[in-house]
């Protein structure tokens, strides 16, 4: 792509009147240059089995081509038509909650042959029909694909076949690896293999979850293969990845998909990022999603395929926020931003997930603000396109640790929900990410199994509960070779089968951290004393005993005051810090500042932390590009960090010049 | 009826000993003159299929006739006997929660042929046996009839037939009207019609709910038809309607029954009204229930077939409250009050829903207080009977809007429960009703489809989210012709299929209100500034832009302070006020006071607001009757509002005389 | 047994490495002398049907015998193997929540013939294999046995057969006794008997619960019978009883088992007691469990078969607490304490229910502290063994009243959960127990049907809602003969079928208490005035009218101030106090102190209340033994209550000597 993409999802199917010409004119006048179509419209594309109707697709592509607007065509497979379920009721995935009835999207078993058969036919027809259209620049396969919680019988049988292979048909090995002797769960004949949906064995349950993440990868690869039989070389294939929705919006590692593995299937990563606005707009979620999408494709630029225009009722942006958000995506490395969706829908589930246009389909403040963005991007595309980053700091993430901590939760040690709920893996990830974001530290994510570590000065492992021994060995070497490692509580506890290591904790790393523990508990009112001030400990207390490490913080508690809470230890050429509990924001900032400085990862953006948010990189024409983003309702003033040009107003700027930034506004400097 | 009815439900079936003579003596000495019997006693009436046993019914009617106590006979069909379920398990209604097991009442599919067959037989036998009894003054068909959430297959098939008829077999029209293209929900062959229980399409879901409300009307009409084959001309047919139980008691429009349509079936409306007492007794629930029951039969008097004596554990009335409550029902237009029930039951589910007598079956404070009421009513029946009202103010209500706002909730825009719960339609109704009640404004309710509007000076539409265009046209004409209209947020949003209008909001009424909006959000801390004081906005903020209207209140919020919160606009000969958000009690009172004054609906009862509750009308002998009700633990003094007689103590009163009213006491003045 | 038993559960099956010799050495050096093995290991014992593998059992017994450590062998039946469920899926108990899937323990129908068949075979094989081993001192049958909520069809049919027998085939009698006429629940033909799982009839529901408690007794008697065919005369049979888990730990009468009846099956009672530690360690739960276990076997000593070492994450003991807990068990009459379990498990559900050893299997603070205990017990076994008590105070408990109050809850009067949850029977029991514990009053428990009353000076009946009339007659005689009775609200309300008595309340006891009531309600802000001070009333207000009784406390409430809250009445040679509401801790202490003094049950331990916890009795060599237990983080000093020896340090002590006790420490004095 040679320009920034800006636009929205467009559904001619859902329009109450024939107004596509009005819409394309409104888009053009607002500088929109792309639409995404067809995703989830299977029932209009194929109203009856084998009967195809491309009229809406044709109308949309015709109108967009006429208006010079590019089109991304989505395969429609993430919502199944009524006739498919009427003929094959068992395409609906059985889940732990039971058998669903027809209605919502994402309720089918993505491995079911009847679903696959019909999905393949409609994809092939759609591709034949659209691949040669000039206006079509790429294809999105399915949407926000997951395994939808399937526990359908054929999936369970496939899982057992998978285990037979993994364990080379050796049931003893499997029983041992998973600890199935406990509570008489042992399996001594493959034909006795029990339904796994109610298992209380975390090793088995997590293996099943991992297997189901594999189903997603298989499915995407299969769809991509079909699409590529028809796509031109200049057309891309993408997927719309999304994240943990735990806080009520996109923030956190996706539990049901390993994005690193799944991203191999696509040419360019696509993502949807939904986040709070109004007084709760901080930029953290946008940055997180962007950092992850870059990381899963080795730093390549990505497309924001969906983000909110007006969004949910509480997300209506204040004046300025829509524009600030759009730039925030670019500042993380996006090459395009598309809203979900052009017009608010007049019916059904997402009537109040509002688009650029309200239900009256007339211009409104959000549309007007998007037009400002569109016109700016038309003008400054060259400066803003293809931002590349070279980050010094990385966070190691793991779907496996995430899953493990739903079976052995941080606060109770039991299955999530069995004795109340608990904060989970992503709460720890978000804690560190928020702290780093607040310090203007840009990060990459690295995969626990196979990510490159040498690129980074400083690596964090939030609650890396379970990992194969090889990962721990690589972390060990990383520090020995001069890297700086910061690990939190519940790191290096268990192996890849969730068997807790039976030697000193943290396994293989006690000398790296120069500390160990053999008891841990819940906070029970404990504080952490660091640098003379005491703030509360949260989630869990690992009672650390330094071996060689320096104690950076201790517990403030009548029974546990002999134990360390945070330790630091030189190891080889590097250094390793261990956090035995969740610290307060204040203490976290202090410990992280220290770690960043000692790792040589402290620079001028950190000095601006608290004033503006800084993101930077090198743009497509090879020049340094700096974003100064004001996520606040107040005017701020900062000194320009470099000589260059203020991109959006063309002003020349010298390092040290005072730059005033209005509420929810920004400055982009090109060096 | 020529006298006030006062009594209770009586179950000889449940009595631990033979004491019916003691009971009738206790009733007579307490001035009780009516009992309600037989409802829900199917299994004693017909212990085996086709085997009938009328001994309890006979005993009760014999004893009551002997004591001169009238009898209302209830058909027993709202609880099914064991033998019916043993033979026909599928008479139990399948619901969204699954298939119930036997046990509770109200768990059958009221359209099921096996249920209907057996219900008809027992009703006919009961009618043959009782219709000619002198003491029997009327019949109650079934009890608190609802559709019980049925999603049984035959009901779903009937629903599809109903849709075929409604849409004249035109699936395209149905797909378009319901917006089924969304998420591939389109139906292109009737045989593909999906199970609706998990639909995410609010249009389809609401149509199914409306269809099921129709089942209730069909069922009641069918029962009434059978009963009338036997009943004498001097015997009435009634039903025991009840209300939304959302707050934990009766208050709000009944979601599962359209009372206006259903009431056509009966000769006299019956109702059950349960409400808090003790420190939480305000009279609002009693007034609400009474206003609704009058309204559904065009102002006719009604019977309170059930209300609490001791009721639930937390409802034991303070001294004075039982009597105050009884008069409160008359003050709303009731011609009779019956307790559920005479004696506390010694077994099963409602052991602690206590009656007039406690489990010891001896006189107690509640019985003694009911005797005071009974004796007063014997004495003053002529003055108190047949109160008629001529109210100037009405509230327009709609089952359809209520249902719609469960699919598109006020606070989230999504299906209730999908993203947490939300205040609903009845919360808005109760907000306005409470405010009007606090101002001593008596209201009627009018049906959104067909209610007479011209009778009123002032009409409120709380959250009339969806309505056919004809309703909006009638509101438009009402204002043009001189009416005063007060509408709240979320009025005139969608048509009868829950399709949001795709032109300017509020549809068809922007010139009536002289205001419009194209964005709205959640409060996010916003205030409303009205008359110089600022109080919090609640539930939703519609960001109103006045076209011609006067701004009565604005938002106090950094981003939205340019928008109006409340507007008023002259239109034709009338005036229309629009409330874009839920106001504080204080601001509501202020805005409503203004609207009432401008509509000429302000009078002396409003001046007494805050001191006593006033209800009034014209009694059966054509004289003005005024109730001054003291719902408080304090003595109050008011000036008599008219010349006349204090009914209960016979004192002559001149307008302006000081009347002292004791805690939880009242004065009734006849002009 | 001639020595204190001290040890843990040991699972060679779950060990990650071969280290049994290391373990036995660690045990011996810590003074551990017993292990409990094999419970719940069915799938390793019998990996395929009829194929047995005793290698783990043999290894364990061999090693323990070699080390001189005794072994208790558990039958493995409380968790079913995969092959059993694969062949007979219906051995899994259907419950009100539906049909479970395989996974957890305790999910089978303990009456199912296929389960019984296979359970019997494995028990017999295990007994043949182990009964003659020298090191095996006893057998535990099953574990924490319950009915697991079964509503499986065969169990329901057995229940109906049971009712036919109980009611001598007389359906009328059953309908009358249960009040089935209500809501048409009458059954007039046995073949119509409905599925009981959704019954709303508390009498029927409670009868089913009682029947299911009978299943547990049958099952245990059956297992004990099989085991005794093989066991030597010097080997005991025990069961591991447990308690209500309502507060999140063991405290309260077990709802699903009648411990008094079930205990007849075993030679020595075993128990598991889990409780909070850290800042919430009070000793109350340990004392409660111990008092109950002594009481169910008429004062005999018992074994703590399971209690926590490190336990759950929040239970990691502070230094000193593990030792204090161990002695607390002995102070209640235990002859042994076993931890669950020796080593923390590296897999599955209870990975974080931690044992003596952490996952690293090395010595740690908990292990070291257990070694202190072990060595002390080796030394002082003779002084500490076989403590017998002669308590003056008893609490009457009833599974039937407990169950009844789930059908008619204290705060709502409805089925628990139907209108929110409510405090239940055990909350009342715990309230009284806590108050007595705080006063250093040691109690026995007596069964409502058949417990000996004459042994006691003072008997409490907490919320004895339902009981056969004979129980009330016995209480009446008890007071008449000089006993002191303290009953709380909701005592003597209903008969054994949960039919509320239809005469004056409390039934049969109004003259005993000299008081009655016919109305009651919820607190609604009421206070209780006692001895001039007013504190809040809780749960329920029974509005008491004294007949002859003295009013000890009255309600402070505008409407109810004429009623008594607490009364006392002489009756015959005794005295009866009635508490119409739950009092504050302060008022409770005051009323109880008075009652204890008047009953002559006040002695020196009560004077030490608030300083140390006192438990006492007579040890195995016939000498008085007094425990002074300091459950606090502070040093305390008390005067020695008798001449004797301080057992643990051998010091001679004279009555009146000052004894200093460290935080979480204790002194044991032998007289």
pLDDT above 80 (res C63): yes
Cβ separation A200–C348 shorter than 8 A: yes
pLDDT at position C451 is 83
Q: What is the mean pLDDT of residues B485-512?
A: 98
pLDDT at position B419 is 79
For A591-604, the pLDDT digits (tens) are: 999 999 999 999 99
Q: What is the mean pLDDT of residues C538-552?
A: 98
pLDDT at position C473 is 98
Of the candidates B191, B192, B522, the beta carbon closest to that of A314 is on: B522
Nearest to B298 by CA among B269, B323, B273, B272: B269
pLDDT at position A418 is 82
Question: Which of B188, B423, B495 is most worth mutating to test chain A (most A CB atoms within 10 A of its CB)?
Answer: B188
pLDDT at position C465 is 98
Of the candidates C82, C359, C633, the beta carbon closest to that of A502 is on: C359
pLDDT above 80 (res C598): yes
For A38-53, the pLDDT digits (tens) are: 999 999 999 999 999 9
Contact C368, C310 (CB under 8 A): no
pLDDT above 80 (res B1): no
Q: Hey, how many other C-beta atoms are within 10 angstroms of the C-beta on B586?
A: 12
Question: Which of B9, B43, B142 is most worth mutating to test chain C (most C CB atoms within 10 A of its CB)?
Answer: B43
**Chain A neighbors of B559, CB-CB under 8 A:** 278, 318-319
Beta bridge partners, B500, equal: B494
**Chain C neighbors of B316, CB-CB under 8 A:** 519-521
- For residue C57, the distance in angstroms to the closest alpha carbon of chain A comes to 14
- CA atoms of B30 and B32, how far apart (whole Å): 6
Q: Hey, how many other C-beta atoms are within 10 angstroms of the C-beta on C127?
A: 19
pLDDT at position B417 is 86
* Band of residue A620 on the pLDDT scale cut at 50, 70, 90: very high
Instruction: Count chain A–chain C contacts defined by CB atoms under 8 A.
Output: 157
Between A99 and B306, the more confident residue is: B306
- Per residue, what are the HEC states of B608-645? HCCCCEEEEEECCCCCEEEEEECCCCCCEEEECCCCEE
Complete domains list, chain B, with CATH = 5-148+219-384 (3.20.20.80), 153-203 (no CATH), 393-600 (3.40.50.880), 606-670 (2.60.40.1180)
* Band of residue C417 on the pLDDT scale cut at 50, 70, 90: confident
Q: What is the mean pLDDT of residues A246-273?
A: 97
pLDDT at position A474 is 98
> What percent of chain A is modeled with pLDDT above 90?
98
Q: Between the CA of residue A355 and those of A11, A44, A589, what are the distances in Å?
A: 11, 21, 38
Contact B663, B655 (CB under 8 A): no
Contact A478, A532 (CB under 8 A): no
**Chain A neighbors of B200, CB-CB under 8 A:** 103-104, 348-349
Q: To the nearest whole number, what is the mean pLDDT of chain A?
A: 97
- CA atoms of C640 and C653, how far apart (whole Å): 7
For C278-306, the pLDDT digits (tens) are: 999 999 999 999 999 999 999 999 999 99
* Band of residue C418 on the pLDDT scale cut at 50, 70, 90: confident
Taking the CA atoms of residue B185, residue B186, residue B187 and residue B188 in that order, the dihedral angle to the nearest 10 degrees is -150
* Band of residue A580 on the pLDDT scale cut at 50, 70, 90: very high
For A215-234, the pLDDT digits (tens) are: 999 999 999 999 999 999 99
Instruction: Count chain A–chain B contacts defined by CB atoms under 8 A.
Output: 158
**Run of H or E residues at C86:** helix C82-87
> What percent of chain B is modeled with pLDDT above 70?
100
For C628-640, the pLDDT digits (tens) are: 999 999 999 999 9
- For residue B181, the distance in angstroms to the closest alpha carbon of chain A comes to 6
Task: Enter the DSSP assignment of A401.
Answer: H
Q: To the nearest whole number, what is the mean pLDDT of chain B?
A: 97
Beta bridge partners, A340, equal: A308
For A359-411, the pLDDT digits (tens) are: 999 999 999 999 999 999 999 999 999 999 999 999 999 999 999 999 999 99
Cβ separation A181–C44 shorter than 8 A: yes
Can you list the positions of beta strands (E) in A581-671? Answer: 613-618, 624-629, 636-639, 644-646, 652-653, 658-661, 666-670
**Chain C neighbors of B352, CB-CB under 8 A:** 408, 412-414
pLDDT at position C391 is 98
pLDDT at position C421 is 80
Contact A39, A79 (CB under 8 A): no
pLDDT above 80 (res C1): no
Q: What is the mean pLDDT of residues A425-443?
A: 98
**Chain A neighbors of B198, CB-CB under 8 A:** 100-104
Contact B375, B385 (CB under 8 A): no
Q: To the nearest whole number, what is the mean pLDDT of chain C?
A: 97
Q: Which two tokens stand for residue B459?
A: 């009409």
For B92-143, the pLDDT digits (tens) are: 999 999 989 999 999 999 999 999 999 999 999 999 999 999 999 999 999 9
Q: Which residue matches tokens 């599925």?
A: C195
For A309-336, the pLDDT digits (tens) are: 999 999 999 999 999 999 999 999 999 9
Nearest CA in chain C to B41: C184
pLDDT at position C308 is 98
For C195-226, the pLDDT digits (tens) are: 999 999 999 999 999 999 999 999 999 999 99
Of the candidates C101, C315, C359, the beta carbon closest to that of A500 is on: C359
pLDDT at position C300 is 98
- For residue A469, the distance in angstroms to the closest alpha carbon of chain B comes to 41
Q: What is the mean pLDDT of residues A166-182?
A: 97
For chain A, state the CA radius of gyration. Answer: 26
For A280-316, the pLDDT digits (tens) are: 999 999 999 999 999 999 999 999 999 999 999 999 9
Residue B144 annotated among the catalytic residues of the structure: yes
In terms of C-beta density within 10 A (0-12 exposed, 13-18 middle, 19 or more buried), how is residue C615 classed? buried
pLDDT at position B420 is 78
Of the candidates C183, C197, C521, the beta carbon closest to that of B101 is on: C197
pLDDT at position B451 is 83
Cβ separation B181–A344 shorter than 8 A: no
Beta bridge partners, A343, equal: A357
pLDDT at position A491 is 98
Q: Between the CA of residue A624 and those of A564, A646, A648, what are the distances in Å?
A: 43, 12, 15
**Chains touching chain B, criterion 3+ CB pairs below 8 Å:** A, C
Which candidate in B285, B306, B442, B670 is catalytic?
Answer: B306
Please tell me whether residue C354 adopts helix, strand or coil conformation: strand
pLDDT at position A420 is 78
pLDDT above 90 (res A149): yes
Cβ separation C348–A179 shorter than 8 A: yes
Kindly provide the ipTM of the predicted complex, given to two decimals.
Answer: 0.95
């Amino acid at each position: 792509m040679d320009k920034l993409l800006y636009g929205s999802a467009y559904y001619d199917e859902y329009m109450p009147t024939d107004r596509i010409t009005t819409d394309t004119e409104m888009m053009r006048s607002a500088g929109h240059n792309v639409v995404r179509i067809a995703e989830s419209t299977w029932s209009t594309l194929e109203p009856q089995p084998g009967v195809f109707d491309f009229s809406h697709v044709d109308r949309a592509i015709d109108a967009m081509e006429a208006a010079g607007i590019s089109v991304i065509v989505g395969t429609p497979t993430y919502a199944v038509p009524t006739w498919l379920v009427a003929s094959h009721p068992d395409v609906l995935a059985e889940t732990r909650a039971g058998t669903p009835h027809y209605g919502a999207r994402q309720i089918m078993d993505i491995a079911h042959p009847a679903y696959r058969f019909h999905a393949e036919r409609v994809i092939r027809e759609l591709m034949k029909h659209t691949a040669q259209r000039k206006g079509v620049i790429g294809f999105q396969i399915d949407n926000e694909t997951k395994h939808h919680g399937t526990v359908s019988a054929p999936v369970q049988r496939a899982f057992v076949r998978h285990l037979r292979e993994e364990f080379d048909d050796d049931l003893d090995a499997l029983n041992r690896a998973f600890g199935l002797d406990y509570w008489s769960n042992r399996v001594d004949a493959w034909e006795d293999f029990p339904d796994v949906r109610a298992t209380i064995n975390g090793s088995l349950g997590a293996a099943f979850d991992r297997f189901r993440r594999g189903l997603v990868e298989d499915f995407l690869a299969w769809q991509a293969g079909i699409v590529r039989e028809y796509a031109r070389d200049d057309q891309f294939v993408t997927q719309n990845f999304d994240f943990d929705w735990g806080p009520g919006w996109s923030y956190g590692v996706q539990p049901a998909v390993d994005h690193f593995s799944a991203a191999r299937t696509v040419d360019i990563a696509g993502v949807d990022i939904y986040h709070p606005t109004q007084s709760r707009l901080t930029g953290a979620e946008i940055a997180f999603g962007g950092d992850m999408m870059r990381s899963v494709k080795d730093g390549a630029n990505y497309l924001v395929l969906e983000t909110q225009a007006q969004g949910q009722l509480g997300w209506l942006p204040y004046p300025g926020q829509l524009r600030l958000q759009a730039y925030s995506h670019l500042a993380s490395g996006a090459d395009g931003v598309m809203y979900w969706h052009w017009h608010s829908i007049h019916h059904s589930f997402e009537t109040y997930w509002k688009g650029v246009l309200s239900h009256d389909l007339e211009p409104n403040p959000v549309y007007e603000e998007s037009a400002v963005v569109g016109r700016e991007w038309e003008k400054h595309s060259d400066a803003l396109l293809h931002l590349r980053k070279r980050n010094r700091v990385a966070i190691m993430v793991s779907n496996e640790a995430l899953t493990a901590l739903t079976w052995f939760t941080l606060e109770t040690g039991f299955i999530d929900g069995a004795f109340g709920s608990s904060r989970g893996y992503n709460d720890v990830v978000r804690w560190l990410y928020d702290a780093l974001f607040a310090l203007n530290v840009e990060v990459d994510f690295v995969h626990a199994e196979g990510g490159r570590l040498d690129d980074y000065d400083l690596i964090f492992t939030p609650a890396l509960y379970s990992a194969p021994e090889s990962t721990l060995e690589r972390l060990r070497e990383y520090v020995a070779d001069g890297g700086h490692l910061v690990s939190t509580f519940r790191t290096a506890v268990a192996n890849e089968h969730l068997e807790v290591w039976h030697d000193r904790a943290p396994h293989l790393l006690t000398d790296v951290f120069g500390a160990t523990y053999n008891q841990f508990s819940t906070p029970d009112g404990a504080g952490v004393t660091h640098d003379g001030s005491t703030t509360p400990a949260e989630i869990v207390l690992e009672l650390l005993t330094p071996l060689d490490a320096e104690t950076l913080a201790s517990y403030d508690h009548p029974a546990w005051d002999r134990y360390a809470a945070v330790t630091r230890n030189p190891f080889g050429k590097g250094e390793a810090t261990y956090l035995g509990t969740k610290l307060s924001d204040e203490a976290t900032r202090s410990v992280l500042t220290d770690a960043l400085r000692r790792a040589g990862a402290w620079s001028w953006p950190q000095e601006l932390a608290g004033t503006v948010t800084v993101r930077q990189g090198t743009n497509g024409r090879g020049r340094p590009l700096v974003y100064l983003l004001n996520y606040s309702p107040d005017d701020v003033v900062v000194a320009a960090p470099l000589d260059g040009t203020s991109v959006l107003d063309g002003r020349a700027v010298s390092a040290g010049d005072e730059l005033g930034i209005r509420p929810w506004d920004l400055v982009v400097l090109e060096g």
